[in-house]
């Protein structure tokens, strides 16, 4: 067996990469909570154009404290809501030489993890992958699938390079970067704007948001605000990002974002990770962000309703 | 019998004022559509702290074309959605001396009616009344209930004064004003901001919107935008409007606005009357209105979803 890896947060994305890493010969285990019995009995079933990625974890545990380590990598794939404390989830399994791979959505989300484990290498990950869970089966939809990995807060990393290599061995695409924070900003240009819009429209699909010049114009302006904040934070994104994202989105099916689905279902949303942190960075740098501020205020109200 | 009045759009507000005017001795009729049979059989049942305002229309008709007039007043109480054409609804009952009383929510909504009936007096109405329909019974909740009436686009009006007199005779409060357009701006400071916010948050109650300093701050800033637009349009509202509205709203129960209820139920919303027209006036005058523009773009997307 190769590297010992523990997947924490084995939702669709975590289970998918668990399968890829198992295929690459790693000894992959998983923390499973609500589906502990099903995973113990049958492992994870994954349907993908890459072939059958179904896998059985070496260990299925109810919490990281039950894992027999140490792990070479923790592969942490959690949704960052107000209800989630990723540091607490991973702490029991963080050994002396464990690298923490933090694959989550958002801006300014790595710092608390880095502060909690200052002696461990933190590899931050940005995943581009359309994967969903449908009745016990994980379905991998997207042709373009890529995991960008890099040491937080920046620079070269042998561990990030090794993990990218393993994912490629497992048949998927991955790349190590020296600027993972820049990669986060790049990815969030879409998520920070379109996920909240989808939620606030009552679970809007991608095409609903671009149905008229007026609404497309708003999306464009909001992405431009985001770009100005990224530049002020020292992580400029390409000048044509808004145009490219809108053109790319037009080619997608009328897909409801995860945040849109969360709002429809009354589930917690990644409000702070995706949007609140960006708004606070804008304030800190004095960058005007009225559109994003408005989205943020509305999302906070929507959360209030769900909570009441 | 006194004045002949035809109520068009006898929802909760229309039926309530029909009852008040019937009590004042007017010959009040009503256009009823979905509830034609029920109204024909039993009239309108109205529960109010003002006493029993239940009434039977002199004529119950399925459309204004069936009304045996002419009416002295058309009392038009419609929700202005993209699906509603108030001019078409009232046209068949507009006689030579009929005054049109247009009690609707919104800004810049009277001009099409005035243009369609240039030889009739148009009395525009702004209603403050918490009335709802619950299973065939109209319930009048609010202690503070007032109908502000005035000739459109402005000035003194004997017909408006007469109607206000009749409503007072019927036991409710009403006043004639020389500046009804200003009264519309005053009323909409709340509706233009808080109705869309309620809808976009997924049917937020009044208290949900003011649950934190951040969200209250947003509401305050959006009302300030509205106030600047009102001033540019020549209808300034008092400088402390935002503070007063927020303080007043805190005293209300956690009430979900009509637009919030419409969004939850997937019904058409008064998007253009309440918000789109205000945004267009801001653009015309070059007044910054990014918060209202954002609310408008989001509402247009939400409508798109409902339509698809």
Nearest-angstrom CA–CA distance, A216 and A214: 6
Model confidence at A142, pLDDT cuts 50, 70, 90, reads confident
- Which positions ≥6 away from B67 have C-beta within 8 Å? B6, B29, B31, B59, B61, B92, B93
Whole-number percent of chain A with pLDDT over 90: 81
What integer best gives the mean pLDDT of chain B? 94
Task: Quote the tokens at residue B22.
Answer: 């019937």
Whole-number percent of chain A with pLDDT over 70: 99
Q: Which residues of A touch B (CB under 8 A)?
A: 197, 200-205, 208-209, 211-212, 214-215, 217-219, 222, 254, 263, 290-291, 293-298, 300-302, 304-306, 308
Phi, psi of B243 (to 5 degrees): -60, -45
Distance from CA of B145 to the nearest CA of A (A): 28
Q: Mark yes or no for CB contact A202/B305 under 8 Å.
A: yes
Nearest-angstrom CA–CA distance, B107 and A229: 35
Taking 90 as the threshold, does the pLDDT of residue B235 lie above it?
yes
Q: What is the pLDDT of residue B253?
A: 81
Model confidence at A55, pLDDT cuts 50, 70, 90, reads very high
Instruction: Supply the angle between the helices B180-200 and B213-232 in degrees, to the nearest 10.
Output: 150
Taking 60 as the threshold, does the pLDDT of residue B182 lie above it?
yes
Task: Quote the tokens at residue B69.
Answer: 């007039």
Mean pLDDT across B34-57? 94
Task: Quote the tokens at residue B114.
Answer: 């005035």
pLDDT tens digits, B262-295: 888 888 999 999 999 999 999 999 999 999 999 9
The C-alpha torsion from B151 through B157 and B162 to B163, rounded to 10°, is 0
Q: Mark yes or no for CB contact A300/B212 under 8 Å.
A: yes
From the list B215, B254, B294, the residue facing A301 with the nearest CB is B215
Q: What is the pLDDT of residue B308?
A: 55
Q: What is the pLDDT of residue A130?
A: 84
Taking 90 as the threshold, does the pLDDT of residue A90 lie above it?
yes
Model confidence at B88, pLDDT cuts 50, 70, 90, reads very high
- Which of the 8 DSSP states describes residue B272? I
pLDDT tens digits, A91-131: 999 999 999 999 999 999 999 999 999 999 999 999 998 88
Q: What is the pLDDT of residue A26?
A: 98
Q: What is the pLDDT of residue A306?
A: 60
Q: Which residues of B touch A (CB under 8 A)?
A: 197, 200-205, 208-209, 211-212, 214-215, 217-219, 222, 254, 263, 290-291, 293-298, 300-302, 304-306, 308
Taking 90 as the threshold, does the pLDDT of residue B303 lie above it?
no
Nearest-angstrom CA–CA distance, A108 and A185: 9
Mutate to test the interface with A, among B199, B201, B212 (most CBs of A within 10 A): B201
Model confidence at A252, pLDDT cuts 50, 70, 90, reads confident
Chain A CB contacts of B280 under 8 Å are none
Q: Mark yes or no for CB contact B218/A295 under 8 Å.
A: no
Taking 80 as the threshold, does the pLDDT of residue B1 lie above it?
no
Taking 60 as the threshold, does the pLDDT of residue A308 lie above it?
no
Q: What is the pLDDT of residue B122?
A: 98
Q: What is the pLDDT of residue B266?
A: 87
From the list A212, A222, A301, the residue facing B201 with the nearest CB is A301
Mutate to test the interface with B, among A301, A302, A307 (most CBs of B within 10 A): A301
Taking 60 as the threshold, does the pLDDT of residue A20 lie above it?
yes
**Which residue in B has a C-alpha nearest to residue A296's C-alpha?**
B215
ipTM above 0.90, yes or no: no
Model confidence at A238, pLDDT cuts 50, 70, 90, reads very high
pLDDT tens digits, B93-140: 999 999 999 999 999 999 999 999 999 999 999 999 888 888 789 999
Q: What is the pLDDT of residue A10?
A: 82
What integer best gives the mean pLDDT of chain A? 94
Mean pLDDT across B165-185? 97
Whole-number percent of chain B with pLDDT over 70: 99
Q: Mark yes or no for CB contact A298/B200 under 8 Å.
A: yes
- What's the Cα-to-Cα distance from A29 to each of A68, B63, B307, rounded to whole Å? 10, 70, 46
Q: What is the pLDDT of residue A195?
A: 95
Q: What is the pLDDT of residue B86?
A: 95
Burial degree of A89 (CB within 10 A; 0-12, 13-18, 19+): middle
From the list A208, A222, A301, the residue facing B305 with the nearest CB is A208
From the list B218, B254, B301, the residue facing A294 with the nearest CB is B218
Q: What is the pLDDT of residue A253?
A: 81
| Number of residues assigned to chain B | 308
Taking 80 as the threshold, does the pLDDT of residue A305 lie above it?
no
């Amino acid at each position: 067996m190769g590297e010992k890896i523990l997947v924490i947060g084995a939702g669709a994305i975590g289970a998918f990469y668990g399968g890829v890493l198992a295929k690459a010969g790693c000894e992959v285990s998983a923390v499973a909570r609500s589906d502990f019995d099903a995973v113990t009995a049958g492992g994870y079933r994954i349907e993908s154009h890459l072939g059958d990625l179904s896998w059985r974890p070496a260990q299925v545990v109810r919490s990281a404290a039950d894992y027999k380590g140490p792990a070479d990598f923790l592969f942490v794939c959690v949704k960052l809501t107000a209800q989630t404390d990723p540091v607490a989830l991973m702490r029991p399994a963080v050994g002396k030489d464990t690298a923490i791979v933090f694959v989550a959505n958002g801006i300014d989300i790595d710092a608390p993890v880095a502060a909690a484990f200052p002696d461990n290498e933190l590899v931050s990950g940005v995943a581009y992958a359309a994967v969903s869970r449908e009745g016990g089966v994980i379905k991998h939809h997207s042709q373009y699938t890529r995991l960008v990995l890099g040491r937080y807060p920046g620079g070269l990393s042998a561990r990030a390079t090794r993990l990218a290599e393993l994912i490629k061995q497992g048949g998927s695409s991955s790349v190590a970067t020296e600027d993972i924070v820049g990669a986060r900003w790049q990815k969030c240009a879409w998520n920070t704007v379109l996920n909240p819009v989808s939620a606030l429209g009552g679970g809007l699909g991608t095409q609903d948001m671009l149905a008229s010049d007026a609404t497309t114009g708003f999306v464009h302006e909001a992405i431009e605000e985001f770009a100005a904040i990224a530049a002020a934070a020292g992580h400029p994104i390409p000048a044509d990002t808004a145009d490219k994202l809108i053109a790319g989105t037009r080619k997608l099916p009328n897909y409801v974002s995860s945040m849109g689905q969360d709002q429809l279902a009354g589930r917690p949303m990644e409000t702070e990770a995706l949007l609140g942190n960006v708004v606070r960075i804008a304030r800190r740098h004095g960058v005007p962000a009225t559109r994003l501020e408005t989205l943020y205020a509305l999302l906070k109200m929507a959360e209030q309703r769900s909570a009441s």
